[in-house]
Structure 1
């Protein structure tokens, strides 16, 4: 039995609790938060040990894995502390807010010979699994371009719920908070970006970070990418989608959270086979919860002594794309058009 502990008893921690409780071979035995009331709620509801001091919890030899579920800007010191205590680490997205902090986490886990997984659960959705398989099997041929789109609403009340939301020090904007799962898919499916240009703006929300972003990418393989991310969509979420186009295939995965096949056409695949695949995926578009898939994989990675399927380097790649977009936007190297 692999014993887990959660650091940070906020909203996202509930998903980790359910994922751990639903994973064979895993057990939640402890939680830690600086808020004693939150700790007491978890202790009472789940029958776990509660801590308000992280160093005390990390001394517990029965804990094998710590799940970091705090605001993003706190990930690095907590993940490093967990690794230095000899615990495997699961860290919520984004892995960190800077590449330096991401590298600190990765280095600490390597130094202490512990596993590191980053929470990018969208990779496990049935439609995305099928898309990745088609790409790996070269069914697209030469790639033309890809689109990654997040058209969501996060109103001012959402940001006013907690002082850290929308801040550059602890949260980030639409790219680091909402769009990072989609951009993780983009880098996972299309590979490393070689060139990019981007515009980030804070148009409608009273926050430090951007609430809308648009970017263009040239990947190392020569294909192009178009990125659109916004939390300014009125009045509610419209879509999260990823589309990939090649000489032999066109696919768009859409829905409000990139989980349904909207379009799927591939050379050499009959209409009947295509419709069967679409019907199968769209009948259960979410599949097994992604957080549970990640916890199951961490358990198996420990037992098999292998790297988790969503590694620290994977988390770093998505972060790097976003930070490169932010840098490109700050540089403002653009052509001003005149009439």
Structure 2
């Protein structure tokens, strides 16, 4: 049994608590927040310990894993402290808000020999796992292009709930907060990104960051991609889609949260098999909750001494894409993502 502790008792912490509670080999030992009242629901439902001090929590030998659920701008400092204390880490997306901070987290976990997993739970949706199988079997042949779309609504009341929402220092905009899940899937299925060109704007929400973004991507394998992300859709979430096009296959994943097959046509797969796949996914579009997958995988990674399925580098790849899109929009120029370097991993402008 692995003991988990949650740092930051906001909205997303509830999903972590539920996931830990549902996992047979995981136990929620404690929560930590600077505001006592935010911990009360966790005391009442799970009977856990509470800590106002991160340092005091990290002194608890019983704690094996720290789940970081604070605003994104605080992730790095907490993760580094947790790694130094010998705690394994599950960190909410995005891994951090800068590549420097992502590198700090990854380096600290490597130095102190602890596991690191970033919460990109959409990878575990049935439709995505089925798509990954097709990609691994090269069913699409040479890839042409892909399209990633997030057309959602986050009204002003959403941003007004907390002073950090929509800020550049602690949160970011639609790319960093909402669309990063879709971008992670785009990279996971299509491969790493070489170059981007983007435009962004803050059109309807009173926030520091963008509420709409459009981008073009060139992948390292030569395929192209289009990204559209917005929280300005009236009056509610419309759709999240991911479409993949290759020489021998076409697939469109859709629905409000990209969990259904809207179209599939793959060479060598007849209509009956395709329809069966569509129906199978539709019968259980969410499957086991993604956060539960992440928790259970962390337990297994610790036991087997292996890397978690979603690694720090995976989290950094998604972050690097967002930052490149931001830099391109800010400078109205293409931005190329650098290869890994000992000195810097910042994107550069062409």
Distance of 1:252 and 1:285 partners within structure 2: 15
What aligned pairs does 1:198-217 form with structure 2 within 5 A after superposition?
A: 198-217=198-217
TM-score (norm 1): 0.98
Instruction: Answer whether contact 1:88 1:116 (CA < 8 A) is retained.
Output: yes
The Cα shift of 1:42 comes to 1.6
Partner of 2:53: 53
Partner of 2:269: 269
Look up the SS of the partner of 1:12 in the other structure: helix
Partner of 1:33: 33
Alignment RMSD: 0.8
Look up the SS of the partner of 1:179 in the other structure: helix
TM-score (norm 2): 0.95
Partner of 1:172: 172
Distance of 2:141 and 2:186 partners within structure 1: 17
Structure 2: gaps (5+ residues): 335-350
Look up the SS of the partner of 1:282 in the other structure: helix
The Cα shift of 1:331 comes to 1.0
Partner of 1:96: 96
Partner of 1:114: 114
Instruction: Answer whether contact 1:32 1:39 (CA < 8 A) is retained.
Output: yes
Partner of 2:303: 303
1:254-288 deviation per Cα after TM superposition (whole angstroms, max 9, x unaligned): 10101001011100111111111110011100000
Look up the SS of the partner of 1:210 in the other structure: coil
Distance of 1:123 and 1:230 partners within structure 2: 21
Distance of 1:172 and 1:290 partners within structure 2: 23
Partner of 1:337: none
Greater shift in the superposed pair: 43-52 or 299-308? 43-52
Following TM superposition, the consecutive aligned residue runs of length 4 or more in structure 1 with deviations greater than 2 angstroms are none
1:197-219 deviation per Cα after TM superposition (whole angstroms, max 9, x unaligned): 00010011000000000000111
1:199-244 deviation per Cα after TM superposition (whole angstroms, max 9, x unaligned): 0100110000000000001111110000000000111100011010
Distance of 1:195 and 1:314 partners within structure 2: 17
Partner of 1:256: 256
Distance of 1:126 and 1:258 partners within structure 2: 11
The Cα shift of 1:193 comes to 1.2
What aligned pairs does 1:1-339 form with structure 2 within 5 A after superposition?
A: 1-333=1-333
Distance of 1:41 and 1:132 partners within structure 2: 38
Distance of 1:43 and 1:106 partners within structure 2: 32
The Cα shift of 1:61 comes to 0.2
Q: How many equivalent pairs are there?
A: 334
Distance of 1:22 and 1:243 partners within structure 2: 33
The Cα shift of 1:333 comes to 2.9
Look up the SS of the partner of 1:117 in the other structure: strand
1:9-60 deviation per Cα after TM superposition (whole angstroms, max 9, x unaligned): 0000000000000001110010000001112332232111100001001000
Instruction: Answer whether contact 1:212 1:231 (CA < 8 A) is retained.
Output: yes
Distance of 1:162 and 1:227 partners within structure 2: 28
Look up the SS of the partner of 1:278 in the other structure: helix
Instruction: Answer whether contact 1:39 1:52 (CA < 8 A) is retained.
Output: no
Distance of 1:194 and 1:178 partners within structure 2: 22
Look up the SS of the partner of 2:298 in the other structure: helix
